[in-house]
Chains A and B, each alone.
Chain A
Amino acid sequence: MPSAPRRWHKPLSLTEQRFLHSGAWWLWAILLAAMAAGTKNPIFLLSIIFVVLLVVRFRKSDAPWSKSIKGYLFAAGFVIIFRILLVIITPDIFGDTLLFTLPEIDLPSFFAGVKLGGEIKANTVFFAFQEGLRLATILVCIGGAQSLASPTRMLKSIPAALYEVGLSIMVALTFAPQLAFDAKRVRDAQYLRGRKTTGIPALAKTFVPVLEGAMERALLLASAMDSRGYGRRIHQSAFKRKLTNIFMLGGLLGILLGLAGLLGVFSQSNIGLLTMILGVALSFFALRFAGQNASRTKYRPDKWHIPEVLVITTALFGLVAMRFTENIVLNPLASPLSFPQINFITLSSIWVSVLAITFSPKPPLTSRPATDLFKASNQINRQAA
């Protein structure tokens, strides 16, 4: 069988339209999230949010998954408001700047220590805002990664052993919009029969047909995948399969314990690091073993090129700069209340991440832009006139 000619692998230029490696976007976003986790300074946090939003604005594709950032923004807003409301309902007493006083509610004695209402201090509100904003920023970073990296392309980059997990996530992703569509169809049909389409009984009635439809589609998809060869595998001995499972479980356990250790749950942080390394090693072997099991190949998997490396590098500057920033700048005191200090070197290092826009290629279009069609038809109309 002749092999493909070399010319299809033409060298990538920085400007060529293609999808950046999904892993690169995720790493970039995780680095930004790590920055956010290390500071409570609202100016730094807002900078990170703006960086993510700018990059998403210029580098998201036109596919449906690119719209997920909106949902994350709503969630982020909700987190901030919720966190502030929480202190207003159960305020801490510290601080010196009184904002306003709420009527105090006495709780039964078994709620001892919990206080509802009372004096609301600006310090506590500011403290809550900082914490809420930090969590919100991390959410926006995750949303950014989801909007920038195609879930299907991500599937190509994960180890072969995790293929099934990834595939089920992907199928679920395509099922969700379909469910919404089905629900609308059923509601329409109820309307056409002159029945109520709002209220709980009507909702209950949509539930069963939608579920039925989903089941039916799942079966159809399963049979379609089967007839296209899904699940053809090289057989592996039972012993090796068991070994893989043990390694995998041990590895995951190690990683979890390691994480806990690194976060300082144990007194000696060396244990955390060691278990982490052990866990990663075990998982690696497990994935290698399981990978030998699969006889699949990958069509045009994303490759690491210079742009990928550059994009990740942009996010490293901020993280490094923050290591050398004074704690008072990173975590401004809420009491006494003062305007957060800024270190310009740190701030500009955070903003270096926005250069991801220039280093990453534009994603190709996956749908025909409707506006073009109408531009074209308008031109025809004008000519006719």
Chain B
Amino acid sequence: MIKFENVTFKYSDTNFAILENVNLTIPAGELVLVVGKTGSGKSTLLGLINGLVPNFTGGDLTGDVSVNGRSIREFPPRDFADLVGVVRQDPRASFVTDLVEDELAYGMEQLGIAPSTMRRRVEEVLDLLGLAELRNRSLATLSGGQRQRVAIASVLTTNPKVLVLDEPTSALDPSAAEEVLAAIQRLVHDLGLTVVLAEHRLERVVQYADRVIVVDREAEVYADRPAQVFASSLLAPPVVELGRTAGWSPLPLTVRDARKFADELRTRLEKSKPRIRVNVATKTLVSVENLNFNYGNLRALRHIDLDISDGEIVALMGRNGSGKSTLLSQLVGLLEPTSGKILVNGKNPLTLKGKSLIESVGLVPQEPTDLLIADSVINECIASDSDSGAVPGTTFNIFEQLTTDVSENSHPRDLSEGEKLSLALAVVLAAKPPLILLDEPTRGLDYAAKRQLVSSLQKLGKKNHTIILATHDVELAAEVATRVILLADGEIVTDGPVNEVLSSSPMFSPQVSKVMSPANWLTVSDVAFALEDLR
């Protein structure tokens, strides 16, 4: 269905080829997963399928890509509209109209499809993706999962043969992600659609993949069965790593496969216990009393009571829109509570401004680049030093500890997601705030960048910084958190130590916990540590 022949591609402002001599054939009806580090060329590969790269990005292409015999050298992207549907990470950026039904029809209108056919296809696709009840809704009022399904539906109405999805679930909470992935899988099974999907959170998608394409700038791009790829790949979901650590063969790819081996591992670890991650608390740093907050007549937070001590790493979890980000904004004084009291380090965050604010609390927003203002890494660091009154060079030193090999002259926008996050975190840390807040820090991070983040956060915790993360990423929470708070509809549903909360929740339990239950293990590193001890 899709053919890459001797494809070499180079962006015009760089002097290295991002893809080199790629030869791939993707047969019809397969679900293909594209994996690779950030910046390895996954998005470029996906963009080539309908010619958006190089038509919209510029750059030099040699070789040829064709879909169903139609070559991107001969036809512009718009002539692929009836063949390839493209859905991106944030569908809001690609919505053209304002109502669900109109958005579904947009592509067909452009292709000049007869009104009666349009009507029928819209109805079919609404049913296929379970959107019938949302047909009259305004796109702005949809939840994350619904929005993503509408985006998929809107490209399906033109009856494409190929669906290209670039990180469709990275902004979604676990249940919304499952809702989207289930829809995608149904399309593959029922319609025989060919799906090409890039995703960092492999634990969510590996079980659906027929084949995996590995994109790596240093090595040849190749495609293979998932089992073969993950036997050696550095990028692997936790369940695969658990299999490697425990020496299981054949390597399990899914929780279901792994549970067959779990009995053996549980008996091996009968006498061991997971490491307990508790830092000795000396004082209460954050105290929240009966906090309420309304957006208009929507009650975003209700009766929040909370005490957090220094050295705690708290994961705030819950659905999209459950109030996680709102709570973080309250703690940093961006929003004023409707009623209730917040004290951070003994002070009301609303009374803090300027230097006194950044010395008490720092927030890394969902989009870390928001925080960055300068045109190069070094200027950013200098600006940050002067903002916080730190000794010149402080921010840059912190940045160098958080990441490796970044030229100080590069533009913050050109950094990889992980490096951007490190820079924003360094800026925040320069003022030495005792409380650090991170909003969805692992969005767009690959496993290597995530590992780096985990170790940085653990080090900060040991230095008795208090960290609060709002996150959908169960694996991250399992790795670093000492305490987990589950929010739903603006209320605290559960608040407890990480082991208890995560292992008992079906939606928010990490893969290792699913494999090892009823034993209470959360992460591969805990298991590896215990196995090491036994030896």
Q: B94 near A220 (CB under 8 angstroms)?
A: yes
Give residues of chain B (51-106) contacting chain A, Cβ–Cβ below 8 Å.
52, 55-56, 76-82, 84, 86, 88, 93-99, 101-102, 105-106
Q: Would A300 and B105 be within 8 Å (CB), given that A220-B93, A224-B93 are in contact?
A: yes
- Residues of A in contact, count (CB < 8 Å): 56
B99 touching A366, Cβ below 8 Å: yes
Which residues in chain A, 212-256, are within 8 Å of chain B measured between CB atoms? 217, 219-232
Judging by beta carbons under 8 Å apart, are B109 and A227 in contact? Answer: no
Q: Contact check, A228 vs B107: say whether CB atoms are below 8 A apart.
A: yes
CB distance from A266 to the nearest CB of B (A): 44
Question: Are B105 and A227 in contact, with the CB atoms below 8 A?
Answer: no
In the complex, whether A188 has a CB less than 8 A from a CB of chain B is yes
Q: Contact size class for B? A: 35 or more
1/0 contact string of A175-195 vs chain B (CB within 8 Å): 000000000011011111111
CA distance A205 to B372 in the complex (A): 12
Stretch at the interface among A33-41, A305-313, A345-353, A369-377: A369-377
Q: Are B96 and A224 in contact (CB under 8 A)?
A: yes
Given contacts A194-B358, A230-B78, A297-B113, contact A366 B137 (CB under 8 A): yes
Expressed in whole angstroms, the minimum distance between the Cβ of B467 and any Cβ of chain A is 16
Query: Are A194's CB and B388's CB within 8 A?
Result: yes
**What is the bound-complex CA distance between A226 and B82, given in angstroms?**
12
Q: A64-B140, A223-B77, A298-B115 are in contact. Are A371 and B297 (CB under 8 A)?
A: yes
* CB-contacts of B294-323 with A (<8 A): 296-299
CB distance from A27 to the nearest CB of B (A): 23
Please name all residues of chain B whose beta carbon is closer than 8 Å to the beta carbon of A221 when the two chains form the complex: 93-94, 96
Q: Tell whether, in the assembled complex, residue B79 and residue A297 are in contact, meaning their CB atoms are under 8 Å apart.
A: no
Q: A4-B117, A195-B387, A230-B110 are in contact. Are A189 and B354 (CB under 8 A)?
A: no
Residue in B81, B107, B114, B334 whose beta carbon sits within 8 Å of that of A188 in the complex? B334
Tell me if B370 is interfacial: C-beta within 8 Å of chain A: yes
B52 adjacent to A226 (CB under 8 Å): yes
Which of B118-126, B183-191, B267-275 is the interface stretch? B118-126
A62–B88 Cα distance when bound, in Å, is 28
Q: Which residue of B is nearest A5, CB measured? A: B120
Minimum CB–CB distance from B428 to chain A (whole Å) comes to 8
Inter-chain CA distance A295–B78, complex, in Å, is: 13
Provide the bound-state CA to CA distance between A306 and B97, in Å: 28
Inter-subunit contact B119/A299 (CB<8 Å): yes
Contact among B98, B105, B112, B115 with A295 in the assembled complex (CB-CB below 8 Å): B112
- Asked whether A368 is an interface residue with its Cβ less than 8 Å from the other chain, the reply is yes
**Judging by beta carbons under 8 Å apart, are B78 and A232 in contact?**
yes
User: CB distance A229 to B98 under 8 Å?
Assistant: no
* A192-B110 contact, Cβ under 8 Å, with A63-B98, A223-B52, A377-B489: no
Query: B-facing mask of A60-99, CB < 8 A → 1, else 0?
Result: 0011100000000000000000000000000000000000
The distance in angstroms between the C-alpha atoms of A371 and B77, with both chains bound, is 44
* B398 CB, nearest partner CB in chain A, Å: 15
- Say whether A111 faces chain B, with CB atoms less than 8 Å apart: no
**Complex contact B354–A194 (CB within 8 A):** yes
Of A2, A62, A368, A370, which is within 8 A of B297 by CB? A370
Tell me the minimal C-beta distance from A32 to chain B in angstroms.
26
Interchain CB contact under 8 A, A174 and B112: no
| A229 with B137, Cβ < 8 A, contacts A220-B94, A299-B102 known | no
Partner of A192, one of B50, B105, B365: B365
Is B45's beta carbon under 8 Å from chain A? no
> Which residue of B has the minimal Cβ distance to A366?
B138
Is B381 located at the chain interface by the 8 A CB criterion? no
For B77, list chain A residues within 8 Å (CB).
223, 226-227
In the complex, what residue of chain A is closest to B50 when comparing beta carbons?
A: A227
B387 engages A194 (CB within 8 Å): yes
Q: B354 to chain A: which residues have CB within 8 Å?
A: 194-196
Cβ of B371 within 8 Å of any chain A Cβ, yes or no, is: yes
Could you say which of A170, A229, A297 contacts B115, with CB atoms under 8 Å apart?
Answer: A297
**Residue B111 interfacial (CB < 8 Å):** yes
- Determine whether the beta carbon of A232 is less than 8 Å from that of B110: yes
* List of A residues within 8 angstroms of B487 by Cβ: none
- Distance of B102 from chain A, by nearest CB (Å): 6
Q: How far is A371 from B158 in the complex, measured between Cα atoms in Å?
A: 37
Knowing A227-B84, A297-B112, A300-B105 are in contact, say whether A364-B136 is a contact too (CB < 8 A).
yes
Chain B residues whose CB sits within 8 angstroms of the CB of A298 once the complex forms: 109, 115
CA distance A270 to B296 in the complex (A): 57
| Contact among B107, B117, B370 for A185, CB-based, below 8 A | B370
Cα of A240 to Cα of B154 in the assembled complex, Å: 35
Q: With A223-B52, A299-B118 as given contacts, are A228 and B110 in contact (CB-CB < 8 Å)?
A: yes
The 5 closest A-B pairs by CB, nearest first: A229-B81, A224-B94, A299-B105, A229-B110, A366-B138
30 A-B pairs (CB sep. < 8 Å): A64-B138, A150-B98, A171-B96, A174-B95, A174-B98, A185-B370, A189-B371, A191-B334, A192-B332, A192-B334, A192-B371, A192-B428, A193-B384, A196-B354, A221-B94, A224-B88, A227-B77, A228-B96, A228-B110, A230-B78, A295-B112, A297-B113, A298-B109, A298-B115, A299-B101, A300-B115, A366-B98, A366-B138, A367-B141, A368-B141
